[in-house]
Structure 1
Amino acid sequence: MSSQRKTVAGLILFGLIFLVIQTTAPRETDWLPSYSRNDKIPLGSYLIFDFLGDFFPGQQVETIRRPLYETLNDPATPDSINYLIINSAFGPDRFETDLILAKVRLGAHFFVAANNYSGALADSLNLKTAISYQSLLAPGGGFTSPALPESLSAPEWGKIHLSYYFSRIDTQEAVVAGKDLDGRPVFVKMAMGDGVLWLSSQPNAFTNFGMLHPGSTQYAATMLSFLPLQPVWWDEYYKRGFQGRTQILRYILGQPALRAAWYVLLLGAFLFVIFEGRRRQKAIPVIEPLQNETVGFVRTVSELYYQKSDHYNLSLKMINHFLEYLRGHFRVPTDSFSPAFVEKLSQRSGADAGQLRALFGLISRLRESGRCSESQLWELNQQIGKFYQQSGT
């Protein structure tokens, strides 16, 4: 068996073992507070959301996955709605607070249940919650309200203690609609314009765990009965630190079988990168670069002219090549060697103007005479070489 097949077989075997362990292992109860309509964990809100259609018969129940500043700024958002926000904490900023209060004055009923209130809303309403350390040691907890029958005033929650209460509220605006067993406010009504802002310090009353206890369903339903019969908007945006939007990865990690498959996939990808992701190819042969034969060719041609003592033809070829170089690199016309031409070439090339006058004087004499001696050919070569040095080319 090849190493590649062994690797694949090992991955498959490991994946099967991992899946068996994941599916047969006892599951721990997740006590994280999510308050999400999708979660069936103890502190999720699957049950209360499922009952909203019974609490508000004939009314549309809509899930909102957008922030308040988007939802309340939308012209399509009606004024007469019941907006439910259930979370462990609620702290809108100044802009969102102004939108909430404006929508309430137009007829909306905002129902917020949270343990902690902060931000501009808490500042505007002089609102603060506190926790009762004494009730944490007690076996139960709850609240009483003038609208609730006495039998519903104190349900026992067992592991969850509804220990938060409003330690500070604006008494001029707020009406206490519910108190805990110690007489402290836990449910507050604030009428504004045509609507009402309802604030509760006990979000756990709307969790799956809370509603499964005797009397708890009617207890939560009676709280919601304060709201009028109109469309219900359930917030899913402000959940678990603003992670209320549905996420594929979150769903995968929330399902044991899918989570195990996801981990196996990640492990397989990691092992593939380690063992199979290496570059496979033959050694690249070293190819020597082609030699530049131009210099050798020029040297051969020049030696041929020199041996034949044809200095004049050789000088003409050197002059023509030099003038072509000037036209191509410095963009100067070479039909006339006037003082203006010499000055322009000196500025563009950086060569000495006196040396240029001597060079072009020699070129002019050679052209006019039609002859070139060996000494003149040597001088021409030297003058052109000096130009290349001075111009940096």
Structure 2
Amino acid sequence: MNKRFWFFVAGFLVFVFLLEWNAPSKFVWEPTFNHYDKQPFGCAVFDSLMEKSVPAKYEVTKKTIAQLERDGYGKKPHAFLIQTVSFRPSATDIRALDRLLKAGNKVFIAASSIEPDSLYPDLQVAINGQYRFSPMEVKSSIANQSIPYDTLVWSHQLPYQEKECAVYAAMAGNNITVEGKAVCDTLVSCWLSAEEAEMTEGYWLVHMVRIKRGKGELFVSCDPLLMTNYGILDMQTNGLIFRLMSQFRGLPITRTEAYGPEPEYETDTPLRFWLQNEPLRWAIYLTLGGLLLFCVFYARRRQRVIPVVEEPANRSLEFVKLIGTLYHQKHINRDLLQKKYSYFAETLRRMTMIDIEDIESRKENIAQIAIRTGMPEAEVRMILDRVDRYLQGDDELKDAALRKAIDGMDLIINKL
């Protein structure tokens, strides 16, 4: 066997191995907000886009708010981003958060749950959101012919106009409640249908607020699942996310993972799972070995008799006769005349470069045909007018008239 064959076999095996090794793992719909998680509710893609989009600086850390304050992050205006399922800060974190806000920093908290007494005595913020996303819930809603989307509306805020976006209801939160004397602006609301509004106090539920505290601003959202890989890649929601990030107005942004969940998301490929189990590993080895032996024993070209192939018969004439017989039996004379005229016009166009179907140049074309065929111009005009009259007529076209029209066109073609 030549070396080219062995090179092909080795390359094929390496290709299969790399293909299996790099095969993507299945989707995990568990929110992690992890910087290295490429699953839908991780933040690997989200962070990479933010790093390229934020002009000042964007970084990810695992330090708490108190640790960031001790490191001097609050000395200059800064923006902090917190994403979690349940936000439960310690007393030290709450005091550090208060000092950062009063110093002029901005803090954005996206969580599915915040207890009313988790922040400050004079500021009661409660969040009721989604703790997890279930694709089966979306499928069942579609199967039940119900709308699986919620409509989130960004309120009119210069320089932005009011904007609506559709979000899966299984991803969107429920509402935010703010009690206290703080100055509060509603940025994002959720529109409710008439049936849902009867169970609430109105047609709108608050999904994101901006609270003035000291010189700074506190942003609270009940939609943490939007601030993920899925949300930033979804064409319906990425505009909403970038509007949200524009509220920081050029400040450097620090996203902390200190309050997020600690999941063990799966990163292994299917091939690694097979190799970790001895029976499956030996199954792979035997399969590859059997494939290699098959290639070794069957790679040599087998000698076989080359059969004599007869030249295929030309059936074009028989086909034309068959079509002509069908037209004659059915007496579809006008259709047959139309096909003959199309062939006649194409023959003239190919042999004399004359377009007989051009109405505007009909007089000049008739004169050219008369010159080329040696026929009187009046006779050529009579033949063409007869064909046009038969094609445009509504009455039955007799066989004799059809034959006369075809003979006239054949006469012109034969004299070229």
TM-score by length of 1: 0.52
How far is the alpha carbon of 1:220 from its aligned partner?
0.6
Residue type matched to 1:29 in 2?
A: F
| Contact 1:166 1:185 (C-alpha < 8 Å) held by counterparts | yes
In 2, Cα distance between equivalents of 1:122 and 1:116:
16
How far is the alpha carbon of 1:54 from its aligned partner?
4.2
Residue type matched to 1:105 in 2?
A: K
How far is the alpha carbon of 1:263 from its aligned partner?
4.7
- Which consecutive unaligned segments of at least 5 residues does structure 2 have? 1-16, 131-137, 192-202, 282-416
Residue type matched to 2:85 in 1?
A: S
Q: Secondary structure at the match of 1:197?
A: strand
In 2, Cα distance between equivalents of 1:32 and 1:159:
16
Partner of residue 273, structure 1: none
Partner of residue 148, structure 2: 139
Partner of residue 47, structure 1: 45
In 2, Cα distance between equivalents of 1:93 and 1:78:
22
Check 1:259–1:199 CA distance in 2 against 1; reply closer, same or farther (3 A cut): farther
Residues 230-270 of structure 1 deviation map (CA, whole Å, 9 limit, x = unaligned):
211111222214x7xxxxxx68x5232696389559xx9xx
Partner of residue 224, structure 2: 203
How far is the alpha carbon of 1:109 from its aligned partner?
0.7
Question: Which residue, 240, 245, 248 being the options, matches 1:219?
Answer: 240
In 1, Cα distance between equivalents of 2:225 and 2:153:
12
Percent of paired sites with the same residue: 17
In 2, Cα distance between equivalents of 1:122 and 1:205:
26
Check 1:78–1:255 CA distance in 2 against 1; reply closer, same or farther (3 A cut): farther
Question: Which residue, 210, 229, 232 being the options, matches 2:250?
Answer: 229
User: Aligned pair 1:152/2:163, yes or no?
Assistant: yes
Partner of residue 183, structure 1: 204
| Contact 2:81 2:107 (C-alpha < 8 Å) held by counterparts | yes
Residues 79-158 of structure 1 correspond to what in structure 2 (within 5 A)?
A: 79-118=76-115, 120-121=118-119, 125-130=123-128, 138-141=147-150, 142-147=152-157, 152-153=163-164, 155-158=165-168
Residue type matched to 2:40 in 1?
A: P
In 2, Cα distance between equivalents of 1:258 and 1:191:
53
In 2, Cα distance between equivalents of 1:37 and 1:88:
16
Residues 307-357 of structure 1 deviation map (CA, whole Å, 9 limit, x = unaligned):
xxxxxxxxxxxxxxxxxxxxxxxxxxxxxxxxxxxxxxxxxxxxxxxxxxx
The CA RMSD over aligned residues, in Å, is 3.6
| Contact 2:182 2:211 (C-alpha < 8 Å) held by counterparts | no
Check 1:77–1:159 CA distance in 2 against 1; reply closer, same or farther (3 A cut): same
| Contact 1:156 1:213 (C-alpha < 8 Å) held by counterparts | no
How far is the alpha carbon of 1:83 from its aligned partner?
0.6
Q: Secondary structure at the match of 1:115?
A: strand
How far is the alpha carbon of 1:86 from its aligned partner?
1.4
Q: Secondary structure at the match of 1:31?
A: coil
How far is the alpha carbon of 1:116 from its aligned partner?
0.8
| Contact 1:114 1:201 (C-alpha < 8 Å) held by counterparts | yes
| Contact 2:123 2:182 (C-alpha < 8 Å) held by counterparts | no
How far is the alpha carbon of 1:56 from its aligned partner?
2.1
Residues 163-191 of structure 1 deviation map (CA, whole Å, 9 limit, x = unaligned):
32113443533222221124221111111
Residue type matched to 2:45 in 1?
A: L
How far is the alpha carbon of 1:123 from its aligned partner?
5.5
| Contact 1:55 1:221 (C-alpha < 8 Å) held by counterparts | no
User: Aligned pair 1:256/2:255, yes or no?
Assistant: no
Partner of residue 183, structure 2: 173
In 2, Cα distance between equivalents of 1:226 and 1:171:
22
How far is the alpha carbon of 1:36 from its aligned partner?
1.9
Residues 271-310 of structure 1 correspond to what in structure 2 (within 5 A)?
A: none
Question: How many residues of Structure 1 are paired with residues of Structure 2 in the alignment?
Answer: 237
Q: Secondary structure at the match of 1:230?
A: coil
Residues 32-78 of structure 1 deviation map (CA, whole Å, 9 limit, x = unaligned):
01122222211122232222234421x12222112222222234654
In 1, Cα distance between equivalents of 2:241 and 2:44:
14
Residue type matched to 2:238 in 1?
A: T
In 2, Cα distance between equivalents of 1:193 and 1:167:
20
Residues 79-129 of structure 1 deviation map (CA, whole Å, 9 limit, x = unaligned):
411111112221112221111011111121111111111363176521112
| Contact 1:42 1:208 (C-alpha < 8 Å) held by counterparts | yes
In 2, Cα distance between equivalents of 1:63 and 1:200:
19
Q: Which has the larger radius of gyration?
A: 1
| Contact 1:139 1:158 (C-alpha < 8 Å) held by counterparts | yes
Q: Secondary structure at the match of 2:45?
A: helix
Q: Secondary structure at the match of 1:225?
A: helix
In 2, Cα distance between equivalents of 1:139 and 1:198:
27
Residues 120-148 of structure 1 deviation map (CA, whole Å, 9 limit, x = unaligned):
3176521112359xx99642122332228
Partner of residue 240, structure 1: 261
Residues 9-20 of structure 1 correspond to what in structure 2 (within 5 A)?
A: none
Residue type matched to 1:229 in 2?
A: G
TM-score by length of 2: 0.49
Residues 55-66 of structure 1 correspond to what in structure 2 (within 5 A)?
A: 55-57=53-55, 59-66=56-63
Q: Secondary structure at the match of 2:38?
A: coil
